[in-house]
A and B are shown apart, each in its own frame.
Chain A
Amino acid sequence: MAGYLLRRLAYGLLLMAGVVILNFFLIRLAPGDPAEVIAGDMGGATAEVLAAIRADYGLDQPLLVQLGRYLGAMMQGDLGESYFFNRPVSELIGARIGPTILLVLAAQVISITIGVAMGVMAARKPNGVLSGAVSVVATIGYAVPVFWMGIMLIILFASIIPIFPVEGMADIRLRNEGWLERMIDILHHLALPAFSLAVIFLAIYARLSRASMLDVLGADYVRTARAKGASERSVLFRHALRNAALPVITVAGLQFGGLLSGALLVETVFNWPGMGTLAFDAILRRDYTLLLGVLFCAAAMVVIANIVTDLAYRLADPRLGGET
C-alpha cells in the first residue's frame, strides 16, 4: 500500500511538472508583457524603466534559462515572486487556497448528500412519480450554467428575500469577534456560492446513485438479505448503499477538476476571495509567476483528489480490500 502510494505520488509530481512546463511556454508566447502592465499601473514609464523592470525579473534572459531557473527554484519549494505584488507567490496563494478548498468541499458535500439521497429515493420506486421528478431535476441541474445560477440567486437574495449575503466570504468588521461569530458569518456567506456550485454535480450524483442502486437492488445478495427477512431500511443502508457508493466515489474524484473550473466562475460571481479570482486577475495582468503558481496548485489539488479517491475506493470496496 505504501509503495503504491509513493508511486502514485511520484507520478503525480511528474504530471504537475508537465503542467507547469507546458503553460510556461504557452504564457511566454502571449503578446503583452508584465513590465508594460507594471509601467502602465505606474502611469507610464520610460524605456529605461521598462528595461530595468525586465532585468529585475530576469525577463531579458533566454526562455530556457528562465524555465530552468523557475523549475530549479520550484524544486526547493519556491514558486517565485509575483510581478504585480512583489510578494512571494506561495504567500499569495496561501491566503487564497483555503477559501477555494472550503467552497469546493462544501459544494462536494452538499451535492453528494442531496444527490445520493435523491438517487436512493428514486431507486426505491423506479417507475414512480418521485423517480421521474428526480430525473427531471437532475437533467435541469445539469443544464443550468453555473454562473447564471449564481446571478439568479444574487437577484433573488440581494433584493427580493435578503436573508443571505451575496458577496465576499466574511464581514470584515467582525474580524475581531470570537471564533464562533466569525464561523457563523463565513458559513452564512458560503451558502449561496456553495449551493450554486453544488447544483450541477448534484444532478450527476443523483443519476449515478439511482442507476447503481438499481443495479445493486437487483443483485443476488440483496435478494438473499431480503429473503432472510432483513428490514427494508437495513437492506437499503447496510447492503445496497454501501455498494452503490463505489461509483459515486469514483466519479467524485473524476469531477474534482470540473469542480475547480466551476469554482472559478462561482468565485467571480460572488466575489469569493479564492484562487479562481486570483488566477483570473493574474492572466489579465500577465503576472506569469503567479499564474504558473496557481496552475501548479490546481493540478496538485486534482492529483491529490485522485489519490484520495483511490484510497477511499479501496477502503469502501470489501473485495479490493481483501484481495489485493
Chain B
Amino acid sequence: MSAADPAAPRKAARAESPLREAWVMFRRNRPAMAGLALLVLIILATLYGALLYGGDPYEIVWAPHEPPGATPEFPLGTDYLGRDIVAGLLTGGGPTLAVGAAAALLTMLIGVTIGALAGYFGGAIDNLLMRFTEFFQVLPALLFAMVLVTLFSPSLTMIAIAIGLVSWPQTARLTRAEFLKIRKLEYVTAARAIGARDGRIMWRVILPNALPPLIVSATLTIGVAILFEAGLSFLGLGDPNTMSWGLMIGANRAYILSAWWPVTFPGLAIFLTVFAVSLVGDGLNDAFNPKLRER
C-alpha cells in the first residue's frame, strides 16, 4: 500500500521500491501471471519455433487443404496451396508481433511527446496541441491507415507507421492528464525552484512519476496494434511477401466453406496473443493501483 502513497518522497523516481512493490503485487495476481507465461511462450515460439520446426512456410509441401490430424507431418493441416500451417504460424508470428510492438512504440512516442508538452506548458500550447489531437481523433482510423498503406507500398514498416499515426491521440490525452496532475505537485515546484530546465523537469521529474498508467496503456496499445495489423492484412493490404497471421486469414478466407482450419488457427493465435497481452496489462494496472485491487 505504501508504494503508491503520493506523499512519499519522489525525488528519485528511479528508486526501485515502487516497481518492486508492483512486481510483488503482480506476482500474486494469478490471471496476470498466466498471461505473462502465455506471452513469453508465444514470443519464444515465434522467435525460435520456426528454427526448431524447420518447415518452410512458403513451400508447397502437400496436397492443398489437408485437414488437421490427417497427416502426422502436418498436425494443423495445409492451406489452399498445400503449405504447412504450423510453419506459417511459427513464421508469421514474428512479423505480427514486431509490427504490433513497433506501432505501439510509435504510438507512445508521439502520444507521450504531444501529451507531455500540452500538459506541462498548458495555455496556448496545450490548446493548439489538443486541437491537433482532436483532429486525429475525428480522422476515420482504419480508412486513413488504408489510404496510407495503399499510397506508400504495403510494407510492414508502412503498416506500423500507419497504425502509430492513427492510434496516438488516446495516449496523448492520458499523458496530458497525468502531466497536468503531477506538475502541480510539490516536488515539481521544488525542482523548478532550484532552476531545473523545462526539458529536465518534464523527462526526469514528471515522466518517471507518470509512468505507471503509461506502461499499462502501452501494453494495451500493443494488443490494439496487433489487431489493427491483422485487420489490414485481412483486407489484403498487408505485405504479401511476408507471412503474418493476418495475411494467413486473409489469403485463406475464400475457402472457409471447404476448409475451416487455415483461417481458424491464425485467428486463434492472434486472439491468444492479445488475450495474454491484456491479462498482463490488467495485472499491471492492478499492481500500480493497489486500491483498485482491493475491491
Are A and B direct contacts in the complex by CB distance below 8 Å? yes
Chain A proximity of B72: nearest CB distance (Å)? 25
Chain B proximity of A171: nearest CB distance (Å)? 20
A159 touches B257 (CB 8 A): yes
CB nearest neighbor in B for A280: B235
Chain B proximity of A122: nearest CB distance (Å)? 11
Could you say which of A139, A152, A258, A295 contacts B143, with CB atoms under 8 Å apart?
A295
List 15 other contacts, CB 8 Å, given A145-B246, A257-B137, A303-B138: A15-B135, A18-B135, A26-B151, A140-B271, A143-B277, A145-B227, A145-B230, A147-B249, A148-B234, A151-B249, A152-B264, A155-B260, A258-B141, A261-B141, A294-B143
Q: Can you list 29 contacts pairing A with B, beta carbon distance less than 8 Å?
A: A15-B138, A23-B147, A26-B148, A27-B151, A30-B150, A139-B279, A140-B275, A142-B278, A143-B274, A143-B275, A144-B274, A145-B231, A145-B271, A145-B274, A146-B227, A147-B230, A147-B249, A148-B234, A151-B249, A151-B253, A151-B267, A155-B264, A261-B140, A264-B142, A280-B146, A294-B143, A295-B140, A295-B143, A303-B138
Q: Which residues of B contact A143 (CB under 8 A)?
A: 223, 271-272, 274-275, 277-278
**B263 at interface by CB-CB < 8 Å:** yes
How many interface residues does chain A have, given as a range? 35 or more
**B270 at interface by CB-CB < 8 Å:** yes
Q: Which residues of B contact A194 (CB under 8 A)?
A: none
B141 touches A257 (CB 8 A): yes
CB nearest neighbor in B for A297: B140
- Which residues of chain B from 269 to 286 have a CB within 8 Å of any chain A CB? 270-272, 274-275, 277-279, 282
Could you say which of A145, A211, A284 contacts B267, with CB atoms under 8 Å apart?
A145
B278 touches A139 (CB 8 A): yes
Q: Which residues of A contact B138 (CB under 8 A)?
A: 12, 15-16, 19, 257, 299, 302-303
**A158 at interface by CB-CB < 8 Å:** yes
With contacts A15-B134, A139-B279, A143-B275 taken as known, whether A148 is within 8 angstroms of B146 at the C-beta atoms is no
Q: Which residues of B contact A151 (CB under 8 A)?
A: 249, 253, 256, 263, 267
Chain A proximity of B271: nearest CB distance (Å)? 5
A260 touches B151 (CB 8 A): no
Q: Which residues of B contact A16 (CB under 8 A)?
A: 138
- Which residues of chain B from 89 to 119 have a CB within 8 Å of any chain A CB? none
Q: Which residues of B contact A26 (CB under 8 A)?
A: 147-148, 151
**B197 at interface by CB-CB < 8 Å:** no
**B58 at interface by CB-CB < 8 Å:** no
CB nearest neighbor in B for A211: B292
**B23 at interface by CB-CB < 8 Å:** no
CB nearest neighbor in A for B151: A30
**A116 at interface by CB-CB < 8 Å:** no
**A265 at interface by CB-CB < 8 Å:** yes
Q: Complex: how many Å from CA A292 to CA B31?
A: 45
Could you say which of A29, A31, A294, A299 contacts B139, with CB atoms under 8 Å apart?
A299
Chain A proximity of B125: nearest CB distance (Å)? 19
A265 touches B234 (CB 8 A): yes
CB nearest neighbor in A for B132: A18
Q: Complex: how many Å from CA A283 to CA B145?
A: 11
Q: Which residues of A contact B246 (CB under 8 A)?
A: 145
